Amino acid sequence: MKKSTTPSPGKFISLEGCEGCGKSTQASLLKSALEAQGLTVVMTREPGGTPTGEMIRDLLQHHASGEEITPIAEVMLFAASRAQHVHNVIRPALAQGQWVICDRFVDSSLAYQAGGRELGLEKVLAVNEVALDGCWPDCTLWFDLPVTVSSARVAERGVAPDRFESEALSFHQRVVDTYEKLYQRFPERMVRVDAELSIAEVEQAVRDHLQHTLGVSL
């Protein structure tokens, strides 16, 4: 009997959280850990991940036209970047049996636009369901951090804040509160990680969670 050459489906892991939660550091550590197990890993980010997405990212983070981006337009721009990302990067990688690690994905739009911008969860979710076309993460790691700690960490960076980092503390509190709501709404894929722990402790928590949720031993 001829052995099938069709690769096993890959897994899709997204990392979420407020500013300064350490998810980008953990994304790099996770990529190394998965590759050490012989897995092929694609690490990407949102907004961005494609040439078109990176142009949209620059527009969203450092908008310089002088015209304010309306909340609804912001949702649409994020969704446009995401649709391109799913079609050109994420789906092809998964079909080839690769694992995808994405630094922010759909839950960022739900937290920042539905929550932070107060547009409402159902409205933002409806737009993004079109962009996703059914491509949801297998596991979402939510790095939970109090907004006061988040603000202090961002200030310690010593770099000019972008449009979102510059928002008022009340905006970021709504973002954190919405992540909590998403965690309650999507318990089958969302995992809470205490981001106040040390980098090593957070890394170990991530490994433990992925062994439990995806069956991968790291």
Domain assignment present for 207 = yes
Domain assignment present for 29 = yes
Query: Which pLDDT value is given to residue 106?
Result: 98
What is the C-alpha to C-alpha distance for residues 82 and 74, in angstroms, rounded to an integer? 12
Domain assignment present for 199 = yes
CATH code at position 38: 3.40.50.300
Stated pTM of the model: 0.92
Query: Which pLDDT value is given to residue 8?
Result: 61
What is the C-alpha to C-alpha distance for residues 159 and 95, in angstroms, rounded to an integer? 39
Domain assignment present for 142 = yes
Query: Which pLDDT value is given to residue 67?
Result: 83
Domain assignment present for 1 = no
Domain assignment present for 2 = no
Reading the chain (218 residues) residue by residue, the pLDDT tens digits are 444 445 567 899 999 999 999 999 999 999 999 999 999 999 999 999 999 999 999 888 877 677 888 999 999 999 999 999 999 999 999 999 999 999 999 999 999 999 999 999 999 999 999 999 999 999 999 999 999 999 999 888 877 777 888 889 999 999 999 999 999 999 999 999 999 999 999 999 999 999 988 988 88
Query: Which pLDDT value is given to residue 4?
Result: 43
Domain assignment present for 165 = yes
Q: What contacts 24+ positions apart, CB below 8 Å, involve 196-199?
A: 196/145, 196/146, 196/149, 199/22, 199/25, 199/26, 199/29
Q: In the chain, how many domains are there?
A: 1
What is the C-alpha to C-alpha distance for residues 71 and 17, in angstroms, rounded to an integer? 20
Task: Give the list of residues 6+ apart from residue 63 with CB closer than 8 angstroms, or none.
Answer: 69, 163
Which residue range(s) make up the domain with 19? 12-214
Query: Which pLDDT value is given to residue 2?
Result: 44
In our burial notation (b when 16+ CB lie closer than 10 A, e otherwise), range 32-49 reads: ebbeeeeeebbbbbbbbb
What is the C-alpha to C-alpha distance for residues 34 and 160, in angstroms, rounded to an integer? 33
Query: Which pLDDT value is given to residue 111?
Result: 97
Domain assignment present for 4 = no
Cβ atoms of 101 and 27 closer than 8 Å: yes
